[in-house]
Structure 1
Amino acid sequence: MSDFQNKGLSLTEQQLISNVLTLYGITSGWQGKRSEGGMNNSTFMLHTNGATYMMRQYETHNDQAKIAFEHGVLTALRHTDFKLDSPRPVVSVKNHKTYQVVQADAEGRTKIVTLFHYLEGVNPLWEQADQLLQLGRAAGHLSSSLAKLDLKSEPVYPPYYRIDEAYPLCSPSRLMELCASPPETLTACAAQLAQLREELPGLFEALRGMDQLPHQLVHGDVNASNVLADSQGRICAILDFEFATWDLRVMELAVPMSDMLTMDKSEAWMWKAQARLVEGFREKVELTAQELRAIPHLILLRSLDVVMHFISRMMEGTDEPRVAVEQIVKLKQRMDWMRLNERQLRTLLTE
């Protein structure tokens, strides 16, 4: 454990970690380091008393109801036929909870913190298009298992297609205003916003009637950053269930398909990867013709959701404007791609 020297951890972070470990009944010495995590959390890898844990400090999702639902999903999932690993929250010996509300700084601000058992593996790199068959199977297997869950608590997040409820700071109407008159922070993508002003109304209109498609509990964010592969390159775990909610079943396929569109790969590679994703998913889940027809619009919806998410974070001061700019450019690229390739995509989906 020579790389665990608490390097890069501030005194405040070290004190926070010690306090959290005490709440879980861990009072022995520890070593730790900050991990590369998602943009919504701070994560720390901790080693103590022969065991390794991941500590997550929720940042933009600092809401007890959201985290309680996430942990409820994780607990229930372990009682299904799901064969892959998933995060396992540690239960505190002090209060028997899987998350703790702690003081995070000298100003008295609080954060929600969770301790997870460490899962072995690395985020996969998609080098061969055939690898995406694994991701499709993993997403389909997860979808099949989540469909069996009967949770007592209600999800906090609305479905993707109810995007008008998801981001109060960047509602569809507010987004259209930004497209018409971009603020200085978004001038780098003013041309894309002007074009999106003409194209987004059609996408919003296409979302009407989505509530008639099959619904179930979905993870909602299956992609390379949220899965782990073992030493043989096989997907062994799915992570980060914090966006899990009641949504369209087919969204579990549309999300990774959307993420494929802006990878630095050839068109031939991308088409083969998409075919493998669909093939793997449909081995586990039988989609209806109506669900398959919805996928092109849902691919764009995923990208639109990411744009509204990061514009909201920009407005909150959480992220630099460049992050929102990058996502706006990606949305425009996806919409251009879909205009040119929708017919071929629909052919792939019905083969």
Structure 2
Amino acid sequence: MNPERLKHIFDRFRLGEPLQLELARGGKIHETFLARTSRGWFVIQELKPPFNHLTALDAYAVTAHLIGAGFPAPEIFLTDRREPFYSDASGVYRVMRRMPGHVRETLTSPSMAFEAGIMTGRLHSVLKDIDYVPQFHLEGFHDPAFLVQKLLDTARKDPPKATPVAGFIERFRQEVPKYLPSKELPKRPIHGDLKVSNFLWDQEGRPCALLDFDTFMLGAYPVEMADAFRSWCGKKDGPEGRRFDQSLFDAAWRGYRETAPSWTREETAALLHALPLIFLELGVRYLIDYFEETFFSWDPSRYSSRSEHNLHRMTRQWALFDEILSKRTVLEEVLNLRRAL
């Protein structure tokens, strides 16, 4: 984002003169800046495709609803035309108030997982009353069957690149259908991407705000929570290797149930299948981007290409998928499903 464009954005959102500006690190998709003016600290984002002005409209509607209910979400600002975004030939931009707290990439204790569950339960309880239909739709998001077909179609167009990963493609083709829900689950307003880094945390290890409502949608609670548990409980490489931390799962589920709306028995049972499926879904998305190299960011200091980084991410999802299958009995006990299944 060049200085002239930044100045234009400052003017359109009436932020005042910039006193400090820095590029935010760590985002996988959007380009994000932190800006300080006489009015305080702001977050300026350039939305990257496929996200667009409809994404900004949805995020504004849901955050306004949450803030009105006392839930900690970032205030999104309006332009001089009373719109929650500014767009021109160069892209789509928005401005939010910078929230206190810091970003974490992992949960390190059951107490943190419990608190994340508490906040997510509150989120679902507040969102169930929102009177708004999302306008933006991210193609294939939380639609594993669609993604597998897209993977197969994409691979056929690039045989040289497909050959080294043919075994992974075939395994996705075989495994995904086994975990698809047998019947339609209730659709409810959900966040869509409750990964650890979308929470802000205080110094005591408690979440103090929730960020990134670009995937706000009507979806199933079991899918939402499976994706959350994937991030919260799926430990990265370390002394114990790749693993799904059962103690974090137990604590997070207990916290969530304290504040969440009631689930049907069928929804709780569906979570048992959604957990392995969510690792498959993300693995497919990484493998698609192995071919396309357009969606996820990558770390050039660690990998030779975006494709290589996506392959690493994809193989990690397989490792966690295999582990989650080995823990089915334990998960049934945590979910209190042993007598029902």
TM-score class normalised by the smaller sequence: 0.7 to 0.9
Structure-1 residue corresponding to 2:13? 24
Tell me the equivalent position of 1:35. Answer: 24
Task: Give the Cα–Cα distance (whole angstroms) in 1 for the partners of residues 154 and 324 of structure 2.
Answer: 23
1:7-156 map, 5 Å: 13-82=2-71, 85-92=72-79, 94-103=80-89, 110-124=90-104, 125-151=106-132, 154=135, 156=137
Structure-1 separation of matches of 2:39 and 2:5: 21
**How far apart in 1 are the matches of 2:112 and 2:93?**
34
Instruction: Say whether residues 1:227 and 2:216 are aligned partners.
Output: no
* Residue pair 2:276, 2:321 contacting (<8 A) in 1 also: yes
* TM-score, normalization by structure 1: 0.81
> Cα gap change, 1:100/1:323 in structure 2, threshold over 3 Å: closer, same or farther?
same
Q: What's 1:279 paired with?
A: 254
Deviates more, 1:191-200 or 1:339-348: 191-200
Counterpart residue type for residue 107 of structure 2 = W
In structure 2, relative to structure 1, the CA distance for the partners of 1:309 and 1:72 (3 Å cut) is farther
1:263 corresponds to which residue?
Answer: 236
Which of 210, 213, 231 aligns to 1:241? It is: 213
Residues 1:28 and 1:339: Cα distance change in structure 2 (over 3 Å): closer
In structure 2, C-alpha distance between the alignment counterparts of 1:268 and 1:28, rounded to whole Å = 48
User: Which one of 235, 251, 271 corresponds to residue 295 of structure 1?
Assistant: 271
User: What CA distance in whole angstroms lies between the structure 1 residues aligned with 2:156 and 2:276?
Assistant: 20
Give the structure 2 partner of residue 106 of structure 1. Answer: none
Are the structure 2 counterparts of residues 331 and 184 from structure 1 closer, same or farther at C-alpha, using a change threshold of 3 Å? farther
| Runs of 5+ unmatched residues, structure 2 | 297-305
Please report the RMSD computed on the Cα atoms of aligned residues, expressed in angstroms.
Answer: 2.8
Instruction: Work out the CA distance in 1 between the residues paired with 2:165 and 2:289.
Output: 17
Does the Cα contact within 8 Å between 2:16 and 2:39 map onto a contact in 1?
A: no
Number of equivalent positions? 322
* Deviation at residue 34 of structure 1 after TM alignment: 0.4
- Read off the aligned partner of 1:34 and give its amino acid letter: L
The residue type equivalent to 2:245 in the other structure is M
> Cα distance, 1:132 vs. partner?
0.6
Q: Report the equivalent of 1:252.
A: 224
Alignment correspondent of 2:303? none
CA shift at 1:186, angstroms? 5.8
| 1:42, distance to aligned residue in structure 2 (A) | 0.6
The CA distance in 1 between the partners of 2:288 and 2:172, in whole Å, is: 18
Counterpart CA distance in 2 for 1:336 and 1:330 is 10
| 2:63/2:73 contact within 8 Å kept | yes
Aligned equivalents of 1:311, 1:195: Cα separation in 2 = 12
The CA deviation at 1:116 is 0.7
Question: How much has 1:114 moved relative to structure 2?
Answer: 0.5
Contact 1:192 1:332 in 2 (8 A): no
- C-alpha contact (below 8 Å) 2:84/2:94 kept by paired residues: yes
The residue type paired with residue 231 of structure 1 is Q
Please say if residues 140 and 281 of structure 1, whose CA atoms lie closer than 8 Å, have aligned partners that are also in contact.
Answer: yes
Indicate how the Cα distance of structure 1 residues 153 and 59 shifts in structure 2: closer, same or farther if over 3 A, else same.
Answer: closer
Residue type at the aligned position of 2:110: A
Q: 1:31 to 1:188 in 2, by over 3 A?
A: farther
Contact map agreement 1:40 1:61 (CA 8 A) in 2? no
Q: Once the two structures are aligned, what percentage of the paired residues are identical?
A: 18
Q: Which runs of 5+ in 1 are unaligned?
A: 1-11, 104-109, 166-170
Structure 1 residue 330 and structure 2 residue 316: aligned? yes
